[in-house]
Structure 1
Amino acid sequence: MFAAAIFDMDGLLIDSERPIMAAWIEAARTLDIELSHAQYLQVVGLAIAESELILGTLLGGPEAYRHAIDHVRKLLQLQRAEGLPMFPIKPGAAEFLGALRQRGTRCAVASSSTSGQIQACLGSLDVLHHFDAFAGGDEVVRAKPDPALYLLAAERLGVDPAQCVAFEDSENGAKAALAAGLRVVIVPDLKHPPASIVERAFHVLDSLHEAVAHVPRWFPGQVIRT
């Protein structure tokens, strides 16, 4: 059915949204501001410029935003300094990627994170070798929901977008993949996409664990014996 799979990273392959949200809430407290979960969820899935504008408004302006983001970076780097991966892999991700590799399915990442961040994060989790191509937010002019990232990833795979399926957790990511001509499987994370997006999805899963059972039907490629 599909010749290739293209994955979002944050909130889909790696559990980054929760620790980042916790860091922002803690950073806001250093400014004597109580940033709620609901307020933070406004920026999930947005491009950096949009999220900066919203968080800056919530925190009291550009200077407060700069203070907070410095604190967020320090909190996340502290975890890395303790010898832990900055973000853990999402349940089922490694298993699903391994199953795709066994079928010879080409895989790529299309993430708003930079190409360097993509390779560093996935390399630290020992899943980088499952991917044939990467498209990072630093390589396109417009971020999701613009289709540029998915079009670039499909081009680098050498596969027609219509033969690819995207795995996404966010509304903007799903919109980007659909606009690029891909089918979309939604695996919601912190913020469930609206019904208007869910209705256009090829499938909705609770986790990537569930995706493993669909591999033989969705990816009928040649099984590779090892």
Structure 2
Amino acid sequence: MFAAAIFDMDGLLIDSERPIMAAWIEAARTLDIELSHTQYLQVVGLAMVESEVILGALLGGPDAYRHARDHVRRRLQLERADGTPLFPIKPGAAEFLAALRQRGTRCAVASSSTRGQIEACLGSLGVLDHFEAFAGGDEVVRAKPDPALYLLAASRLNVDPAQCIAFEDSENGAKAALAAGMRVVIVPDLKHPPVALVERAFHVLGSLHDATPHLPGWFPGELARP
């Protein structure tokens, strides 16, 4: 039995990776460059600094990267104009979070997105109140796969990392949680984890729908939080 659940956000709780990838591919075309899905997948799960280096090389240098980045920001901003959430919630996420809350399981978010982005995204989807603590990429010096984000989230819950299950979609995120001493449940999004990482995972699931049946064995039932 474990004391807390700690979640990544992008690609795990919210379906953000696909629209962001589509925006980058569109931006590359404005530079007369065909950026393939396979090429873009190199940056999934990486810190912003690392992504900038790789995308800059693929797009033709720093100036081209900045042009494409600005296009992506404008494109994603336009998709918010009708008042709908920028990124939809992933299948099974809302139900799983509600089930955890019903059991009284303590939950946190450990995401490379900024603290403000975390609160805005999850607030727009109506699931922010399921979490007691947050750790954002702007609050640590080193990004995933460094364990800093997961250690910060556990400390804010005042829970031993060894008593936490981390839910992740990316390779670097899973490595970060493992390095923090947590068990890791991988729910792949755009990229399937390598075999060596699968072998170290607690479970690999198709979606968060598949996590709900495991709750009685993972987390003790307590009085539900209001």
User: Is the structural similarity TM-score above 0.5?
Assistant: yes
Residue 210 of structure 2 corresponds to residue 210 of structure 1: yes
1:147 corresponds in structure 2 to 147
CA distance in 2, matches of 1:184, 1:151: 14
1:59 corresponds in structure 2 to 59
AA matched with 2:52: E
CA distance in 2, matches of 1:104, 1:142: 31
CA distance in 2, matches of 1:193, 1:223: 36
2:163 corresponds in structure 1 to 163
Q: Which runs of no fewer than 5 residues in structure 2 stay unpaired?
A: none
AA matched with 2:165: V
- CA RMSD for the aligned pairs? 0.9
Helix, strand or coil: the match of 1:166?
strand
Deviation at 1:225, TM superposition (A): 8.4
Residue 78 of structure 2 corresponds to residue 78 of structure 1: yes
2:3 corresponds in structure 1 to 3
- Deviations, residues 19-72 of structure 1 (Å, cap 9, x unaligned): 000000000000000000000000000000000000000000000000000000
Q: Which runs of no fewer than 5 residues in structure 1 stay unpaired?
A: none
Structure 1 runs, 4 residues or longer, greater than 4 Å off: none
Helix, strand or coil: the match of 1:5?
strand
Deviation at 1:201, TM superposition (A): 0.3
Residue 108 of structure 2 corresponds to residue 108 of structure 1: yes
Deviation at 1:220, TM superposition (A): 1.5
Deviation at 1:223, TM superposition (A): 4.5
Contact persistence 2:101–2:225 (CA under 8 A) = no
1:179 corresponds in structure 2 to 179
CA distance in 1, matches of 2:99, 2:47: 31
Helix, strand or coil: the match of 2:80?
helix
1:18 corresponds in structure 2 to 18
- Deviations, residues 105-137 of structure 1 (Å, cap 9, x unaligned): 000000000000000000000000000000000
Identity of paired residues, percent? 84
TM-score (norm 2): 0.98
CA distance in 2, matches of 1:209, 1:26: 32
Deviation at 1:221, TM superposition (A): 2.5
Helix, strand or coil: the match of 2:98?
helix
Deviation at 1:199, TM superposition (A): 0.3
